[in-house]
């Protein structure tokens, strides 16, 4: 007598290889999105990017349509070596079916400035504020974030100097008195805050993760985060940021981990650095990025090691174009480092190899290289003789620099996108739509090159 069929079926299922999870493609659209949908097609797209935080698993891809998103994504799951998690902005509308436009994520919210009153100190205004304030920005200015005065209690300071004094001395600054719950603001032009369009920084990051692996972030514009546009935090690894724009935050990209690639990004007007590798980060690649008007362009510190910077353009940063601080085995090749406020290259207690770069000072007070405890070098020739680095590099004649981003045009496009796009889509349904832009290639060759670069 044969075995019952249910036993045979159970045996077959036990011996069969496990089923592989099927990767999912998600869509987010400001034009027609609805969070009650499943998000798995352009027609059933979600409205909010925050829905992606927990939804994305190994192998999943998210396409985010154009518009302004006042929210953030926190990656909660890992990818794998052969199934990356990919967040891809779709400014062309090729994937989402939307009209073209910028895909912008901001950490800031509009601020009510009507309660501010003048303080005795010129240019300083105060208002009651019930919660801590981590950042402010004048949107009608250059959109750099205000300098935050920190409490000086318990720290060495000139006798009698208070936080109010420090705010009074510096336009575009603020201090939040947590005990009194009072916000002190010194505007850029000493005028009442209500004469400006102001926003308050409310979110840590645009897309961030802690200890996650095999994640790609591509094509987004990030502005005004408390910390970073992209945050690869707490030992994240095998992660890629490609073709993003990030400005007005503390860092454009903050990176802590291993096998981190930063490629083709535009990072500017960040309070600390364009991209910052810290806390023993290893095996980082910084390739073909533009960084300007940050405090520092690219920065390695705190025992980071095995970093490579190739074909980057670093210019008009306030302190240094490249800064290597307590970091080892950093390689610099074919970079343009021009008109950075104090020095083009800063090296402090670090081991590095640099050559085939182009340096140019923008003023008589700038240095080509500043190596504390070793030497300060005004010219490339002096630096070459003193340190025996950059022997094949050149001084001057670095060629044209990238155009700077028009932040007002960019922000206006993002804010007005949803209404404009809905009108276009409505017209298209009636047969009178504007022609869509030609599809934009999403750089598969670049992604393959990155995989080879990372050894994955």
Q: Which residue(s) pair with 284 in the sheet? A: 260, 307
CATH code of residue 232: 2.160.20.10
* Domain-located, residue 355: yes
CA angle 202, 241, 234 (to 5 degrees): 65
How large is the C-alpha radius of gyration of the chain? 25
Element (H, E) at 422: helix 407-429
* Domain-located, residue 325: yes
Last residue of a domain, one of 365, 381, 400: 400
Q: Is 86 helix (H, G, I), strand (E, B) or coil?
A: strand
Q: Which residue(s) pair with 146 in the sheet? A: none
Q: Are residues 178 and 245 in the same domain?
A: no
- pLDDT reported for residue 157: 57
Q: Are residues 287 and 396 in the same domain?
A: yes
Question: In the chain, what percentage of residues exceed pLDDT 90?
Answer: 85
pLDDT-derived band of residue 26, with 50, 70 and 90 as boundaries?
Answer: very high
* Domain-located, residue 20: no
* Number of DSSP helices (H) and strands (E) in the chain, helices first: 6, 36
Inter-residue contact 210 to 237 (CB < 8 Å): no
Q: Are residues 166 and 310 in the same domain?
A: no
- Segment 216-240 shows an average pLDDT of 97
Q: Are residues 213 and 333 in the same domain?
A: yes
* Domain-located, residue 361: yes
pLDDT-derived band of residue 202, with 50, 70 and 90 as boundaries?
Answer: very high
Q: Which residue(s) pair with 221 in the sheet? A: 104, 245
Last residue of a domain, one of 170, 200, 230: 200
User: 3 or 32: whose pLDDT is higher?
Assistant: 32
Least confident range of 145-154, 319-328, 339-348: 145-154
Number of domains composing the chain? 2
- Segment 58-85 shows an average pLDDT of 97
CA angle 337, 331, 277 (to 5 degrees): 80
Cα distance between residue 110 and residue 58, in whole Å? 36
- pLDDT reported for residue 431: 61
Last residue of a domain, one of 134, 166, 200: 200
Least confident range of 16-30, 48-62, 230-244, 403-417: 16-30
Tell which residue, 88, 266, 157, has the closest CA to residue 275: 266
Cα distance between residue 359 and residue 329, in whole Å? 21
- pLDDT reported for residue 434: 43
Q: What is the mean pLDDT of the chain?
A: 90
pTM of the predicted model, to two decimals?
Answer: 0.89
Cα distance between residue 184 and residue 86, in whole Å? 41
Flag whether pLDDT at 376 surpasses 70. Answer: yes
pLDDT-derived band of residue 427, with 50, 70 and 90 as boundaries?
Answer: confident
Cα distance between residue 391 and residue 9, in whole Å? 73
Tell which residue, 58, 66, 72, 75, has the closest CA to residue 24: 58
pLDDT digits (tens, 9 = 90+) for 394-418: 999 999 999 999 999 999 999 999 9
Cα distance between residue 55 and residue 96, in whole Å? 18
- pLDDT reported for residue 430: 62
pLDDT-derived band of residue 156, with 50, 70 and 90 as boundaries?
Answer: low
- Segment 138-150 shows an average pLDDT of 94
CA 188 to chain centre: 24
Inter-residue contact 340 to 321 (CB < 8 Å): yes
Q: Are residues 128 and 244 in the same domain?
A: no
pLDDT-derived band of residue 161, with 50, 70 and 90 as boundaries?
Answer: confident
Flag whether pLDDT at 10 surpasses 80. Answer: no
- pLDDT reported for residue 22: 74
Q: Are residues 193 and 217 in the same domain?
A: no
- Segment 64-87 shows an average pLDDT of 97
Q: Which residue(s) pair with 290 in the sheet? A: 266, 313
**Which domain does 134 fall in, by range?**
108-200
Q: Which three-class secondary structure string do you get for 210-262?
A: ECCEEEEEECCEEECCCCEEEEEEEEEEEEEEECCEEECCCEEEEEEEEEEEE
Q: Are residues 133 and 277 in the same domain?
A: no
User: 132 or 160: whose pLDDT is higher?
Assistant: 132
Q: Are residues 364 and 308 in the same domain?
A: yes
Flag whether pLDDT at 15 surpasses 70. Answer: no
Q: Which residue(s) pair with 298 in the sheet? A: 275, 322
pLDDT-derived band of residue 150, with 50, 70 and 90 as boundaries?
Answer: confident
- pLDDT reported for residue 123: 94
- pLDDT reported for residue 428: 72
**Which residue blocks in 265-357 are alpha helix, DSSP H?**
none
CA distances from 386 to 368, 376, 381, 382 (A): 12, 9, 9, 6
Q: Are residues 179 and 317 in the same domain?
A: no
Q: Is 172 helix (H, G, I), strand (E, B) or coil?
A: coil
Flag whether pLDDT at 186 surpasses 80. Answer: yes
DSSP of 333-354, one letter per residue? Answer: ES-EEE--SSEEEEEES--EEE
Cα distance between residue 339 and residue 364, in whole Å? 11
* Domain-located, residue 31: no
Sequence-ordered list of residues with C-beta below 8 angstroms from that of 144, at least 6 positions apart, any chain: 137, 172, 248, 269, 271, 293
- Segment 284-304 shows an average pLDDT of 97
- Segment 199-203 shows an average pLDDT of 97
Query: Token digits for 454?
Result: 């990372």
- Segment 23-45 shows an average pLDDT of 97
* Domain-located, residue 83: no
Residue 76's CB is within 10 A of a number of other CB atoms, namely 14
Q: Are residues 390 and 281 in the same domain?
A: yes
Flag whether pLDDT at 436 surpasses 60. Answer: no
Q: Which residue(s) pair with 226 in the sheet? A: none
- pLDDT reported for residue 433: 43
* Domain-located, residue 42: no
In degrees and rounded to multiples of 5, residue 423 shows phi and psi of -65, -40
Cα distance between residue 35 and residue 132, in whole Å? 31
pLDDT-derived band of residue 429, with 50, 70 and 90 as boundaries?
Answer: low
Q: Are residues 223 and 355 in the same domain?
A: yes
Question: In the chain, what percentage of residues exceed pLDDT 70?
Answer: 87
* Domain-located, residue 101: no
Q: Are residues 267 and 125 in the same domain?
A: no
């Amino acid at each position: 007598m044969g075995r019952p069929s249910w036993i045979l079926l159970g045996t077959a299922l036990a011996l069969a290889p496990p089923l592989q999870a099927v990767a999912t493609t998600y869509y987010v659209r400001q034009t027609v999105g609805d969070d009650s949908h499943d998000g798995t097609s352009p027609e059933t797209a979600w409205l909010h990017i925050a829905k992606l935080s927990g939804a994305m698993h190994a192998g999943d891809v998210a396409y985010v349509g154009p518009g302004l998103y006042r929210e953030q994504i926190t990656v909660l799951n890992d990818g794998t070596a052969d199934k990356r998690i990919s967040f891809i902005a779709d400014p062309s509308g090729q994937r989402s079916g939307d009209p073209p436009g910028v895909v912008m994520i901001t950490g800031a919210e509009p601020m009510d400035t009507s309660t501010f009153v003048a303080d005795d100190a010129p240019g300083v205004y105060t208002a009651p504020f019930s919660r801590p304030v981590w950042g402010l920005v004048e949107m009608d200015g250059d959109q750099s974030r205000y300098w935050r005065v920190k409490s000086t209690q318990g720290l060495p300071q000139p006798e009698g100097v208070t936080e109010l004094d420090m705010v009074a001395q510096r336009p575009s600054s603020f201090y939040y008195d947590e005990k009194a719950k009072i916000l002190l603001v010194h505007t850029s032009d000493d005028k009442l805050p209500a004469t400006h369009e102001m926003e308050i920084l409310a979110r840590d990051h645009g897309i961030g993760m802690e200890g996650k692996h095999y994640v790609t972030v591509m094509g987004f514009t990030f502005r005004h985060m408390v910390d970073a546009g992209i945050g690869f935090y707490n030992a994240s690894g095998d992660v890629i940021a490609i073709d993003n724009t990030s400005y007005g935050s503390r860092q454009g990209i903050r990176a802590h981990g291993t096998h981190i690639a930063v490629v083709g990004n535009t990072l500017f007007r960040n309070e600390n650095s364009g991209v910052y590798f810290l806390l023993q980060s290893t095996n980082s690649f910084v390739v073909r990025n533009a960084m300007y008007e940050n405090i520092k362009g690219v920065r390695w510190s705190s025992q980071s090691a095995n970093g490579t910077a190739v074909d980057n353009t670093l210019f008009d940063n306030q302190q240094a174009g490249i800064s290597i601080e307590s970091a080892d085995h950093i390689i610099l090749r074919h970079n343009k480092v021009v008109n950075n406020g104090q020095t083009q290259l800063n090296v402090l207690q670090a081991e590095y190899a640099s050559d085939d770069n182009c340096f140019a000072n923008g003023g008589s007070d700038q240095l080509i290289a500043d190596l504390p405890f070793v030497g300060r070098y005004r010219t490339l020739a002096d630096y070459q003789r003193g340190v025996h680095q950059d022997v094949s590099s050149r001084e001057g004649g670095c060629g044209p620099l990238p155009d700077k981003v028009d932040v007002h045009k960019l922000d206006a496009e993002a804010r007005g996108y949803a209404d404009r796009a809905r009108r276009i889509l409505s017209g298209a349904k009636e047969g009178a739509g504007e022609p869509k832009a030609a599809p934009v290639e999403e750089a598969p060759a670049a992604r393959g090159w990155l995989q080879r670069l990372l050894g994955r």
